[in-house]
Amino acid sequence: SQQGEEDPQALSIQEGENATMNCSYKTSINNLQWYRQNSGRGLVHLILIRSNEREKHSGRLRVTLDTSKKSSSLLITASRAADTASYFCGNSGGSNYKLTFGKGTLLTVNP
Amino acid sequence: KAGVTQTPRYLIKTRGQQVTLSCSPISGHRSVSWYQQTPGQGLQFLFEYFSETQRNKGNFPGRFSGRQFSNSRSEMNVSTLELGDSALYLCASSLAGRQDLDEQFFGPGTRLTVL
């Protein structure tokens, strides 16, 4: 199974601080995507990083990928209360291209 | 463009019944995927349809089935419901159908409760 694992399971920080979440996966991947989910709602795509990329930025988001360690990290800088959500990484590999998600990191940003 | 819509949003059923959930993808999207989300198991892939054909399937029993129509709308059916089927069922659509390349657009989900 390629199911990934997000770490930590839960993270609580103060507004303005940075938040770092990690994701590990088991087999080689084609690429990896990060999604956000507000409580009980659908997921929203944040960023996609390809297996040949090491770092990618989008606004306050920075994603890194280390294929040798089979891990990725999502950094949210200058967090806001509105960033409170669960964050998931989805990875895909092999020939069937389907995305496999971990159980997510619940981020709480306290105002 | 309208987003992915799922109906119904909430559903309560009893054990042994069957249920059909519906998903309308974003206009022009041909790939529809279904996921089951529970607190214990997280987000698990059910199946993916592309141009009316099931292209990928997760590790779920045969009680879970789906189909896609020519207008790309998709339905999933769960027969002989069990308590453990209580979950948030999410549908996602994408443009070209490569889950690893395309951004997945998720609907708000259908919350199924089995009593």
8 Å CB contact of B88 and A44: no
Residue % of chain B over a pLDDT of 70? 96
* pLDDT at residue A110 in the model: 96
Torsion over CA: B61, B83, B109, A2 (sign): negative
Residue % of chain B over a pLDDT of 90? 79
Asked if the C-beta of B92 comes within 8 angstroms of chain A's C-beta atoms, the answer is yes
DSSP letter string, A25-79: -SS--SEEEEEEE-TTS-EEEEEEEETT-SEEEETTEEEEEETTTTEEEEEE-S-
Instruction: Check: CB of residue B54 under 8 Å from CB of residue B46.
Output: no
Residues in chain B within 8 Å Cβ distance of A10:
none
Q: Residue B72 phi/psi, 5° resolution?
A: 75, -10
A97, A100, A101: best mutation site toward chain B, by most B Cβ within 10 Å? Answer: A97
**Nearest Cβ partner for A45 among B4, B45, B104:** B104
Beta bridge partners of B58: none
Provide CB contacts within 8 A for A12, sequence distance 6+. Answer: A107, A108, A110
pLDDT tens per residue across all 111 residues of chain A:
445 688 899 999 999 999 999 999 888 787 889 999 998 788 999 999 988 999 999 999 999 999 999 999 999 999 999 999 999 998 877 666 678 888 899 999 999
* pLDDT at residue A28 in the model: 79
8 Å CB contact of A100 and B45: yes
Q: In the 8-state DSSP scheme, what is residue B101?
A: T
Q: Looking up tokens 């806001």, which residue turns up?
A: A80
Query: For the segment B84-102, what is each residue's pLDDT rounded down to a tens digit?
Result: 999 999 999 988 767 667 7
Residues in chain A within 8 Å Cβ distance of B36:
none
Q: Between chain A and chain B, how many beta carbons pairs sit less than 8 Å apart?
A: 68
